[in-house]
Chain A
Amino acid sequence: MNAPQQPPGWQREGLATLFDRRPDEGIYRVDRSVYTDPAILELEMEHIFEGSWIYAAHESQIPEKGDFITLTMGRQPVIINRDMRGEINGFINACPHRGARLCRTELGNRKNFACTYHGWTFDSSGEALWVQREEDGYPQPLDHINGVGLTRVPRVESYRGFIFASLSDQVPTLADHLLGAAPYIDMLVDQAPEGFEVLKGYSSSVYHGNWKLMLENGGGDGLHPDYAHASLLGVANRKLERAGAVQTMQIDKMHEKRGGQWAFGNGHSGIWFNFPNPENRPIYKRLPELTEIHGETKATWMTSVFRNLSVYPNLHLLDQMATLIRTFRPLSVDRTEITFYCIAPVNEPRNERIQRLRQFEEFFAGSGMGTPDDNAEFEECQKGAEGRNLATSYIGFGLHNRHEGTDEVARSVGIELTHSGIIGYEGCTMTQYDRWLELLTPGEG
């Protein structure tokens, strides 16, 4: 193993000095070099994106035997497939021979993976089927599984259809990783008796900014909608009196509604508040039957509560303005790719589907009316972070009156918290950097 060169100074003590962490005094400052320093991105690649659980894909993207998708985990090209036995696997997308990528499309169906460079061929579970002139070229038969078989991603596991993977085998169980995020995921998945599926038609967007700006925004920035999304709120108001318009879910003045922000542990976090117009959500029509199955409290949470879930480090599972998977990855210290997948209950009725699609398209993806404004602000934060005479961000909102442990609202829906606060609570960002420090300095915590 070639361990990447650790830049001098970025041991645990060095990294901890990037934070002024005094939550009881309402002070939490983060040095903006976390957004700009390429040496820090190298550490993040090694210890976070290639060293711990990250979100990979949804099972509905590979429903049939032989289906595969390609993605990049950290810096590494990966295939996620469903093999001919129906098992889900992750492989490094590189031929064991000379390293050419085996799958070059975003998705497809293949019983075998044949390398187009020298012809080596592998079955869907990674075993080498054929090596060019094996008898001529090697003193003895090759080990087709452990010798020249595909290299597996060490850990690939699903939670309720969501596939997580780790390029390190030194990680806890997926349940120990997800903690309180798991029952929050349940509140989404349990809405659909036949499960959720990723809809056809996905897209991605790139912004010139550090990946953590996206993470922080979706993981708990309850302070930005009235400002960054003022234009979308304006559009929502324009449509209120228009007959036949698909109405927008109202997110203005979130802090005036019943709600809060939650830290689940391990860097996961969420925002919730009661929608003033839940009747405009497609799932709201399912309230009576969901009440029968799950009881009133949970059914109300499923249908009528804005819920953001951020699963550290690269997944936002949003069930709010629309319902979607948003996953993101660093391309460089100042460039990030976000991919958007609209999800829906399998066999959703037509009218509910149309409403769902229009709500998704209105806000999300680079072509929506919400995402571009977030992207633009991330880019401005990136530029601002170069203002080294103002070296830190002041991320202290609501820290002084936070609630430690699980609160009553969370308990009522079976969720464990590590801490929580009011709408806007920037402890959700603090919990991300607490996790960041833990992961970047393994064995030193």
Chain B
Amino acid sequence: MAVETDFSTWQALTGVLNEEAAALDEQRWDDWVELFTDDCVYWVQAWQGEHELANDPERDVSLIYIDSKAMIEDRLWRFTSGTAPAAIPLPRTSHLVGTVTLQALSDTEAQLRSHWQVAAYRFKELTQAAGRSDYTLRRESGRWRIARRRSILINDQAQTALDLYHL
């Protein structure tokens, strides 16, 4: 159920999603990582057959389950360190974010859903990822940050690699 808000709040909230996409595509990694809260949860669910999801990250397998900004920084360090063959070279990416809806809003917390398609290009080959994400944004010292991003990736068969910049 979508909720309504004023235009400037809407811009501030969707601006976080847009900046996440742009920072990844432009490889502004420091800007990207600053979008997350220290205790952020970044979760990409695994599937169990065609239409069932593995829903419990403490009992079931996830594709990615990160529960701190430090773990995002680990991933970032890895794929920019020059020591990870899957990221030498990194792909070019293009994130398209759309159909954003505001699900809930308070002074300090907002929930949004977005749908996305990401094109990645490496060694002259294009791969695609498509899915949707439920975000919890938290307002910290006047700035909205990502406290939780739960993602569902429809094409979960990884082509060589599946990392945060593909999502």
Digit string of B58-70 for contact with A (CB within 8 Å is 1, else 0)? 1111111100001
Choose from B59, B86, B162, B163 the contact partner of A353 (Cβ within 8 Å): B59
Distance from B120 Cβ to chain A, minimum over Cβ atoms (Å): 12
Say whether B161 contacts A366, CB under 8 Å: yes
A404 to B59, CA, bound (A): 44
Distance from B128 Cβ to chain A, minimum over Cβ atoms (Å): 14
Q: Does A369 contact B (CB under 8 A)?
A: yes
Digit string of B84-107 for contact with A (CB within 8 Å is 1, else 0)? 111110000000000000000000
Q: Does B50 contact A (CB under 8 A)?
A: yes
Say whether A108 contacts B160, CB under 8 Å: no
Identify which of A150-158, A230-238, A254-262, A384-392 touches chain B: A230-238
Digit string of A213-246 for contact with B (CB within 8 Å is 1, else 0)? 0000000000000001011101100110010010
**Of listed A107, A201, A354, residue having the most chain B CB within 10 A:** A201
Say whether A235 contacts B78, CB under 8 Å: yes
Residues of A near B50 (CB, < 8 A) are 105-106
A107 to B54, CA, bound (A): 14
Say whether A373 contacts B84, CB under 8 Å: yes
Q: Does B141 contact A (CB under 8 A)?
A: no
**Of listed B49, B81, B84, residue having the most chain A CB within 10 A:** B84
Say whether B46 contacts A203, CB under 8 Å: yes
Distance from A376 Cβ to chain B, minimum over Cβ atoms (Å): 4
Say whether A367 contacts B85, CB under 8 Å: no
Say whether B78 contacts A357, CB under 8 Å: no
Q: Does A205 contact B (CB under 8 A)?
A: yes
Choose from B63, B78, B88 the contact partner of A203 (Cβ within 8 Å): B63
Digit string of B72-86 for contact with A (CB within 8 Å is 1, else 0)? 001101110101111
Digit string of B144-158 for contact with A (CB within 8 Å is 1, else 0)? 000000000000111
A232 to B86, CA, bound (A): 12
A205 to B159, CA, bound (A): 6
A231 to B76, CA, bound (A): 11
Distance from B14 Cβ to chain A, minimum over Cβ atoms (Å): 26
Say whether A234 contacts B83, CB under 8 Å: yes
Distance from B10 Cβ to chain A, minimum over Cβ atoms (Å): 32
Choose from B71, B77, B156, B157 the contact partner of A234 (Cβ within 8 Å): B77
Residues of A near B45 (CB, < 8 A) are 201
Residues of B near A235 (CB, < 8 A) are 74-75, 77-78
Q: Does B15 contact A (CB under 8 A)?
A: no
| 10 CB-based A-B contacts, threshold 8 Å | A105-B50, A201-B54, A201-B60, A204-B157, A353-B59, A361-B65, A365-B63, A367-B163, A372-B85, A375-B161
